């Protein structure tokens, strides 16, 4: 009898204990036993958010959506009441932004409230937090595709126009870079027309942009290939697969088109007997090309930030060496790491004056060759950044314009290195630093350039 009652007692106790544990653990996840603070936020698009959806503050589970108020007209937005556990209240500021995020490719959505800035006041209970409309993944891809298509059309248009105008041009030029150098030196009729520095710089910029866009796209599409293969091998839904394929196709299109542009521009700027007319057209065309290639750069940029590709770029440590802003550059540990190999070359050694502008001296070329040689063979597959420095003492320019002078110097060096060595264009970055190197490198001021050989990332 006693034995029997013991058995029953154990059985009932174990069962009830487990029930309590279950209730408690689920309650903990819902924060049912924690004190809550309630806030509001508003969205135009709910993206699958429902009552009970998890709320995270700065990535930590914080509570759930308590209510979803449906708008009565298309003009107003869904009003969402969210509960946030008392513990995380300190992170919620008046400038905390609420967004709807997803837990990975197959996960559900949750409401993410960003940690606010310390300057902002703590958000009062029941206040409405600012929100950012969610970006739908499929819409993002769609958007990217539209952009790519636009760029494609633009490039084709430009190509057609150039073709039309320069129908008579027959001889081809192997390399646009050579041409630009030629132009720079004022050779040929087109060169005469384009001798003014702004135009020459424009052309250089355009060609570089076009090349970089091509290379970036090439790389990106290669990456897309890898990812597509990867995703296919994991058998994720066909839809994603299809989207990736179309993104890849579009990227391939751009690659072709920009190649075309590259060739056309090369053909267009070749010295030629058509003289003035051609030159005028070239100017116009170049400005078109500039716009088009800028578009392309934007597109690749958009691609880079797309979540599918983000991981790859994060892993590499930087998005692109193309548009390094001096400000970001100085802050980025990747570039200012003292462990990077550096070659400091002064302006005196590198440049000689030729007319109004600076060109590389033969001594300078030797110095550069030696510097590259010193970096060793791995230089050909690691990124190099060319930091241009100038104290603004160039008499041809506004003395204060150290920035543009340092920029030009960097461009010159890049052109040289590109022609001289088998360097991958995307691996060559330029940045204009005026006359002040980043802190902690032992130079407070520099006039010339500095080649930075980035150390491998882990």
Partner 1 sequence: MTNAIEFVGDVSVFSLRAIADLFRPPFEAEQFWIQLAEIGSRSVPLIVASGFALGAVMTLHTRSTLVTFGATAEIPTVQSLGFFIEIGPLVAGLLMAGRVGSGIGAVLANLRVTEQIDAIESLSIDSFKFLVVPRVLACVIALPLLTLIMDFSGLVAGFVAEYAASGISWHLYIERAFASLDWANFVPPTLKTAVFGFIIGAVSSYFGYTTSEGAQGVGKAATNSVVLCSLLIIVSDVVLVQCIAVAFPRTAL
Interaction site with partner 1 (CB under 8 A): 4-5, 7-8, 10-12, 14-16, 18-19, 21-23, 25-26, 28-30, 50-52, 61, 106, 234-236
CB of 1 to partner 1, least distance (A): 9
Strands of the sheet with 36-43, listed across from one edge:
98-102, 109-113, 54-57, 60-69, 78-85, 36-43, 128-129
C-alpha to C-alpha distance for 305 and 308, rounded to whole angstroms = 8
Residue closer to partner 1 (CB basis): 56 or 342: 56
Burial of residue 18 (CB within 10 Å: 0-12, 13-18, 19+) is exposed
Residues 6+ apart with CB under 8 A from 89: 37, 122
Residue closer to partner 1 (CB basis): 27 or 355: 27
CB of 218 to partner 1, least distance (A): 28
Q: Give Cα 114 to chain centroid, integer Å.
A: 22
Query: How many Cβ atoms from other residues are within 10 Å of residue 72's Cβ?
Result: 7
Burial of residue 73 (CB within 10 Å: 0-12, 13-18, 19+) is exposed
CB of 454 to partner 1, least distance (A): 30
C-alpha to C-alpha distance for 258 and 159, rounded to whole angstroms = 9
Residue among 40, 124, 111, 45 nearest 79 (CA): 40
Residue closer to partner 1 (CB basis): 34 or 192: 34
Residue closer to partner 1 (CB basis): 52 or 376: 52
Residue closer to partner 1 (CB basis): 27 or 399: 27
CB of 22 to partner 1, least distance (A): 5
Are 41 and 131 within 8 A, CB to CB?
A: yes
CB of 71 to partner 1, least distance (A): 20
DSSP assignment of 344-401, as one string?
Answer: EEEHHHHEEEETTEEEE-HHHHHHHHHHHHHH-GGGGTS-EEEEEE--S--TTS-TT-
Question: What's the Cα-to-Cα distance from 417 to each of 148, 259, 358, rounded to whole Å?
Answer: 31, 21, 16
Residue closer to partner 1 (CB basis): 20 or 76: 20
C-alpha to C-alpha distance for 167 and 16, rounded to whole angstroms = 89
CB of 6 to partner 1, least distance (A): 9
Residue closer to partner 1 (CB basis): 8 or 124: 8
| Widest pairwise Cα distance in the chain | 117
Residue closer to partner 1 (CB basis): 30 or 161: 30
Burial of residue 364 (CB within 10 Å: 0-12, 13-18, 19+) is buried
Residue closer to partner 1 (CB basis): 30 or 187: 30
User: Angle at which helices 402-420 and 176-184 pack, to 10 degrees?
Assistant: 140
CB of 3 to partner 1, least distance (A): 9
CB of 18 to partner 1, least distance (A): 4
Tokens of 381: 């597959």
Alpha helices in 235-320 (DSSP H): 238-268, 275-305, 307-316
CB of 23 to partner 1, least distance (A): 7
C-alpha to C-alpha distance for 12 and 19, rounded to whole angstroms = 11
C-alpha to C-alpha distance for 40 and 21, rounded to whole angstroms = 32
Residue closer to partner 1 (CB basis): 52 or 355: 52
Residue closer to partner 1 (CB basis): 11 or 373: 11
CB of 430 to partner 1, least distance (A): 38
CB of 306 to partner 1, least distance (A): 19
């Amino acid at each position: 009898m006693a034995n029997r009652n013991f058995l029953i007692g154990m059985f009932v106790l174990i069962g009830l204990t487990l029930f309590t544990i279950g209730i408690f653990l689920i309650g903990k996840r819902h924060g049912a036993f924690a004190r809550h603070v309630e806030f509001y936020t508003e969205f135009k698009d709910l993206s699958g958010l429902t009552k009970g959806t998890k709320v995270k503050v700065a990535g930590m589970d914080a509570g759930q959506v308590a209510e979803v108020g449906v708008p009565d007209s298309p003009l107003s937005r869904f009003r969402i009441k969210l509960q946030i556990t008392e513990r995380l209240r300190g992170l919620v500021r008046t400038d905390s932004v609420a967004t709807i995020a997803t837990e990975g490719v197959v996960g559900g959505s949750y409401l993410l409230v960003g940690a606010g800035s310390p300057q902002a006041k703590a958000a009062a209970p029941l206040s409405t937090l600012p929100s950012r409309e969610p970006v739908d993944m499929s819409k993002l891809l769609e958007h990217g595709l539209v952009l790519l298509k636009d760029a494609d059309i633009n490039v084709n248009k430009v190509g057609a126009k150039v073709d039309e105008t320069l129908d008579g041009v027959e001889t081809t030029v192997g390399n646009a870079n050579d041409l630009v150098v030629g132009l720079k030196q004022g050779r040929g009729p087109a060169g005469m027309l384009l001798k003014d520095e702004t135009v020459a710089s424009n052309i250089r910029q355009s060609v570089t942009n076009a090349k970089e866009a091509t290379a970036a796209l090439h790389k990106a599409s290669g990456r897309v290939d890898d990812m597509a293969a990867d995703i296919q091998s994991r058998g994720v839904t066909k839809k994603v697969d299809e989207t990736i394929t179309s993104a890849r196709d579009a990227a391939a299109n751009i690659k072709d088109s920009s190649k075309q542009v590259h060739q056309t521009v090369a053909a267009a700027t070749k010295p030629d007997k058509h003289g003035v007319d051609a030159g005028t057209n070239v100017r116009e065309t170049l400005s078109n090309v500039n716009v088009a290639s800028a578009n392309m750069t934007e597109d690749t940029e958009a691609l880079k930030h797309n979540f599918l590709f983000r991981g790859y770029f994060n892993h590499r440590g930087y998005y692109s060496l193309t548009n390094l802003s001096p400000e970001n550059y100085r802050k980025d540990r990747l570039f200012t790491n003292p462990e990077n190999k550096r070659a400091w070359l002064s302006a005196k050694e590198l440049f000689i004056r030729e007319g109004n502008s600076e060109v590389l001296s033969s001594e300078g070329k030797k110095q550069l060759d030696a510097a590259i040689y010193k970096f060793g063979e791995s230089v050909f597959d690691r990124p190099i950044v060319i930091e241009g420095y100038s104290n603004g003492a160039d008499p041809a320019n506004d003395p204060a314009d150290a920035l543009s002078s340092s920029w030009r110097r960097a461009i010159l060096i890049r052109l040289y290195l590109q022609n001289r060595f088998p360097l991958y264009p995307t691996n060559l970055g330029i940045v204009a630093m005026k006359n002040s190197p980043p802190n902690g490198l032992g130079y407070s001021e520099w006039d010339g350039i500095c080649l930075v050989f980035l150390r491998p990332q882990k």
